Structure 1
Amino acid sequence: MVQTDIQTESPMRGVGKDFRSSSGPSGGPSIAPHGKTEKDSSIFLALLQLESQVRKAQTVKELCFLLANETRRLVDFRQACIFSINPKGRARGRVEAVSSVAVVDRNAPMITWIERVLSELWEQGSLQAPGTLSSTHCSTDLQRDWKSFAFPHVLWCPLIRADQQVIGGLWLTRETPWQEGEVQLIRRFAETVAHAWQALGGTKRRVKNWKVLKKWIWGVLVVLMAAMWLPVRLSTLAPVEVVPRDPSVVTAPLDGVVGDILVHPNTLVQVGQTLFRYEDTKFRNQFEVAEKNLSVTWMEYRKVSQGAFTDQDTGAGMPVQASEVRLKEAERDYAWDMLQQVDVKASRTGIVIFTDKSEWLGKPVVVGERIMEVADPKEFELKIDLPVEDAIVLREGADVEVFLNANPLRAIPARLMHASYHASILPTNVLAYRVEAEFTDPPEDIRIGWQGTAKIYGEPVRLFFYLFRRPLGVLRQTLGF
């Protein structure tokens, strides 16, 4: 419990008394010492000034700082700590301010120790009234650090609200004992501080005109409920890319290795211009071998035909030998055709579209593999990959706004042409529907290959559905209704 054996010698002795009514040893009036009267007057003046500053405080933090540093004008102390008390909290006492310290370090050993002491004393019920504290009130574990973190004489003064609930307190320490007058002075000042603390944030502030506020709340709710029924256009966002319309796809005509690419990406080519070339060593050798085989077979056929005049059995093999000659001729013609396809030419005029030359040089390809495209630069459309989770009901001719990365602030109007019913997996592992659109008034600076974001508009819906469509979908999938 808090010690009550406080010394009675007080610097406040004689304050408020009428010294003229007292008598000295000779029976005459006794006059108080002039120096003591001035000291008492200065203390009263300081108390009035501090109470005025407390009433002007704007926040609890400002109030705690004032209490920790300006209380020195009333009583002398070496260190002051201001606490906030939370009876229901895990840590009962929390240091809010320390004298001569701008910012409290919550991890400092002294702060941690003092908060532990306050929590333990609160559990013992020793913090309900002002008084001195000593190490005997604490456990053995906390007593070991008392001399390190506290001066010998500690004064505790709680901050008590009007409903007798403790909301904070003052922890004052010094080397000399505390006098009764000093305790009463601090207690008087603490009552003023507690009242200001309660007004600033210790309790919930009352609403002065609850009826007016209630009407405003109901009015706002009615307006919000009415706004939820307003019709708005449902929309969704999806990535978009400008792609060529009806391009001429250039595929590999035969199995082989790409030897050289003679054009650069996005360059204009003419009909019949060579686009790329195979490594022709294999095909040239096949053609030369086929010609040699044809020559050998032809010589054998002539030999058989000449021997048929002298030997009837030799003449019987002429049809077989003639078939061999025709087979070798077919093999030679095939090798020649393959050799002629080593140079792949453009089938139309337009720009050639492919990734990069370095990705194809020396790369083996198979028949039918897509290598590049040739397209008209003025004929293009929009390819939109709409994720399944963002899909809405789409109609042909629906409005689309395109925001290209080259100019993200410009909205280009477009029109939806087709939306696929089958979703496919994109290279980014996203399941999406393929949507095709076209510009209603294509700008002149559009280039094939540009990318951006498309805003696709659907059917009109209520604002409630527009705002809560996704949460409702997640709720349905979670609960299964």
Structure 2
Amino acid sequence: MSQDQLNSLARIFTFEKKLREAQSIVELRYIVTNELRSISPFIYSFFGTWTKPKRFKIEAISDIAVVEKTSPVTNLVQKIIQQKLKEASTDTHVFTLETESLIPAKGENPLPEQFIWVPCHSSQKGMQAVLVLNRNESWTEQETEYLRHIGSTIGHAMGSLVDKNIFEKMFTIIRSALFQFILFSGIIASMFIPVSLSVIGQAEIIPNNPSIINAPIDGVIEEILVDNNDEVSKHTPLVNFEKTQLQNNFDLAQQELKVIQTELLQAQQSSFNSKEDKALVSLLQSKIILTQETVNYQKLLLDKATLLSPNDGTVVIKDKQALMGRPFQIGENIMVIADPADVQVEILVPVKDSITIKKGAKINVFLDSDPLNVIKASVVKFSYEPELTAENLLAYSVIAKLEQEDAPPRIGLRGSAKIFGDEVRLFFYLFRKPIIVVRQTLGL
């Protein structure tokens, strides 16, 4: 026996050991569709079983955690397997299909033409599953023999994990009159269980009491000196407005002031000999005061062309590029400076799902970045009139305070939040929406 054959047998033994150690059907499916590459390389691996006596379903695909039922590839291979089952193919064999029939959807690349059909038999319980492998190269006779042997091993492992008669036993229990009476009584009794009415809405972490940076002058933004989430300190330059016109106005005012000052000096020198020059001195002194005010005002506008941070914090700016070159009027919002340690959560509750929300109501927040951990919060305030959201839906805005004081979540994180309302009976909780639809439809 060659070294390659010994290596192949060693890999088969290792694979069978993993099958025997599988603790669940899910674990076994993963081993079958992914660990088999070391024995017989493939591109795609499809593994399925019968969910009902005559209903076959693909339940695992190589390199994919969850099988998408609507996927074009899944639907295509499902049809191929159904056809092979109609042909009563019960032995491991290689088969090929034409390229035209292997295109999952228009515009997508076709699957490789080479397939191998691996039925998974159990000597005690018969056919347990089907494994289909797919690649560009044809399978050798040695690989076919290996896979035939592995198919029976998989079938045996499946038979040990699945009780084929479990559905028949459950059906017998369900048909019994006593079970049906207990089940019906339990359902009726459960309708009176008190539960909290709740609603789920989109949530976003927002700053609490941020410093709002508005346009101090009418003008066009030339440059934004910071990016979103930048940490800034007090008096850090944030925005530069276009200064050309402001600088020109300031220079002209200064020049005008110098001219008047020169005229005043000349008038003062000649005022000793001329009564008219004495009167002109008073007039020019008044003009100097007014022009100096103009210079100071133009200087103030020029200074305001550079926006400075009013305090330490984090920059929150939605779309930096959209603001560049855009004309602003005095008071228009540009950005906010927020304290990253002082945050709250905003929840948008759709009008169609709204419930009675009270101040102090409990909220569970689940962030998309950490969906397994809940953040507790409570309602602080809420809007009485709905507003149009970015998704073009009418929703109420609910502001909530986070109970988590240490390590607050980052500003801008999004997720979902569940708001708890008044206690109601389970019947009303389940049928609230149908009742609303009936009342609106029939006018009751």
TM-score, normalised to structure 2, is: 0.57
Aligned to 2:189: 226
- Residues in 1 aligned to 2:302 and 2:365: alpha-carbon distance in whole angstroms: 47
Match of 1:475 among 422, 432, 438: 438
How far residue 445 of structure 1 moved from its aligned partner, in angstroms, is 6.6
The structure with the largest strand share of the pair is 2
- Residues in 1 aligned to 2:414 and 2:406: alpha-carbon distance in whole angstroms: 15
Greater CA radius of gyration, 1 or 2?
Answer: 1
- Residues in 1 aligned to 2:234 and 2:206: alpha-carbon distance in whole angstroms: 21
Counterpart of 2:383, as a letter, is S
Match of 2:356 among 368, 375, 393: 393
- Residues in 2 aligned to 1:442 and 1:322: alpha-carbon distance in whole angstroms: 62
Match of 1:342 among 278, 302, 305: 305
Aligned to 2:327: 364
How far residue 303 of structure 1 moved from its aligned partner, in angstroms, is 4.2
Secondary structure at 2:370 match in 1: coil
Q: Relative to 1, partners in 2 of residues 1:308 and 1:443: Cα closer, same or farther, differing over 3 Å?
A: closer
The question of 1:244 aligning with 2:212 is answered: no
Counterpart of 2:196, as a letter, is R
How far residue 218 of structure 1 moved from its aligned partner, in angstroms, is 5.2
How far residue 403 of structure 1 moved from its aligned partner, in angstroms, is 0.8
Secondary structure at 1:300 match in 2: helix
Cα deviation 1:8-42 (Å, max 9, x = unaligned): xxxxxxxxxxxxxxxxxxxxxxxxxxxxxxxxxxx
Aligned to 2:377: 414
Counterpart of 1:253, as a letter, is P
- Residues in 2 aligned to 1:269 and 1:441: alpha-carbon distance in whole angstroms: 25
The question of 1:432 aligning with 2:406 is answered: no
- Residues in 1 aligned to 2:436 and 2:260: alpha-carbon distance in whole angstroms: 77
- Do 2:341 and 2:408's aligned partners in 1 also have CA atoms closer than 8 Å? no
Aligned to 2:412: 449
Counterpart of 1:455, as a letter, is K
How far residue 391 of structure 1 moved from its aligned partner, in angstroms, is 1.4
Counterpart of 1:433, as a letter, is Y
Aligned to 1:300: 263
Secondary structure at 1:293 match in 2: helix
- Residues in 1 aligned to 2:367 and 2:307: alpha-carbon distance in whole angstroms: 34
The question of 1:375 aligning with 2:338 is answered: yes
- Residues in 2 aligned to 1:441 and 1:401: alpha-carbon distance in whole angstroms: 12
Alignment of 1:317-332 (within 5 A): 317-332=280-295
Cα deviation 1:385-404 (Å, max 9, x = unaligned): 11222111122222111110
How far residue 234 of structure 1 moved from its aligned partner, in angstroms, is 0.8
- Residues in 2 aligned to 1:424 and 1:331: alpha-carbon distance in whole angstroms: 44
How far residue 305 of structure 1 moved from its aligned partner, in angstroms, is 4.3
Q: CA RMSD in A?
A: 2.7
- Residues in 2 aligned to 1:395 and 1:357: alpha-carbon distance in whole angstroms: 37
Secondary structure at 2:325 match in 1: coil
Aligned to 1:280: 243
Secondary structure at 1:411 match in 2: strand
Match of 2:428 among 461, 465, 479: 465
Counterpart of 1:330, as a letter, is E
Cα deviation 1:387-423 (Å, max 9, x = unaligned): 2221111222221111100012222222222222232
Structure 2 unaligned spans of 5+: 1-52, 54-85, 88-171
How far residue 337 of structure 1 moved from its aligned partner, in angstroms, is 1.0
Cα deviation 1:184-215 (Å, max 9, x = unaligned): xxxxxxxxxxxxxxxxxxxxxxxxx9xx9667
Alignment of 1:78-117 (within 5 A): none
The question of 1:260 aligning with 2:231 is answered: no
Q: Which stretch has the larger CA shift, 338-347 or 443-452?
A: 443-452
The question of 1:355 aligning with 2:299 is answered: no
- Residues in 2 aligned to 1:299 and 1:406: alpha-carbon distance in whole angstroms: 69
- Residues in 2 aligned to 1:443 and 1:318: alpha-carbon distance in whole angstroms: 69
- Residues in 2 aligned to 1:227 and 1:265: alpha-carbon distance in whole angstroms: 51
- Residues in 1 aligned to 2:241 and 2:309: alpha-carbon distance in whole angstroms: 15
Aligned to 2:253: 290
- Residues in 2 aligned to 1:239 and 1:442: alpha-carbon distance in whole angstroms: 22
Q: Which stretch has the larger CA shift, 235-244 or 341-350?
A: 341-350
Identity of aligned residues (%): 35
How far residue 355 of structure 1 moved from its aligned partner, in angstroms, is 2.6
Counterpart of 2:236, as a letter, is Q
- Do 2:261 and 2:288's aligned partners in 1 also have CA atoms closer than 8 Å? yes
Counterpart of 2:249, as a letter, is Q
Aligned to 1:72: none
TM-score, normalised to structure 1, is: 0.53
Secondary structure at 1:475 match in 2: helix
- Residues in 1 aligned to 2:312 and 2:269: alpha-carbon distance in whole angstroms: 56
Length, aligned pairs only: 276
